[in-house]
């Protein structure tokens, strides 16, 4: 996998946040915690960046990332009360 080392590091940061914070907070809280962990890991992480989406050289949409790491991997955070089958 092209970015397997980077994604493993990101997942490790997510586990550290979860182990310290547990569940029940808003996504905005986890986002701030993730930024702290990602920066502690020496990664370049930014939140709430606008991204223009292209398809075959045409703009097809725009969205705002939760977190983008090393200008490469987009992290989309979700916080839910429970997972439904």
Mean pLDDT on 3-9: 94
Q: Of 29, 24, 38, which Cα lies nearest the Cα of 73?
A: 38
The model's pLDDT over 44-58, given as tens digits with 9 standing for 90+, comes to 999 999 999 999 999
The pLDDT of residue 24 is 87
Q: pLDDT averaged over the chain?
A: 94
Please determine, for residue 1, whether its predicted confidence score (pLDDT) is greater than 80. no
DSSP lists the bridge partners of residue 27 as: none
Q: What local confidence, expressed as pLDDT, does residue 80 receive?
A: 80
pLDDT of residue 84: 78
C-alpha 55/C-alpha 67 separation (Å) is: 22
39's CB contacts (< 8 A; 6+ apart) are 45
Give the global pTM. Answer: 0.86
For residue 48, give the DSSP letter: S
Give domain limits for the chain: 4-75
Instruction: Say how far apart CA 34 and CA 29 lie, in whole Å.
Output: 9
């Amino acid at each position: 996998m092209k970015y397997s080392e980077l994604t493993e590091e990101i997942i490790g940061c997510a586990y550290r946040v979860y182990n310290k914070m547990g569940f029940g907070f808003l996504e905005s809280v986890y986002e701030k915690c993730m930024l702290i962990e990602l920066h502690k890991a020496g990664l370049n992480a930014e939140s709430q960046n606008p991204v223009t989406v292209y398809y075959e050289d045409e703009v097809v949409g725009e969205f705002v990332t939760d977190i983008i790491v090393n200008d490469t991997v987009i992290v989309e955070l979700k916080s839910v009360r429970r997972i439904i089958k």
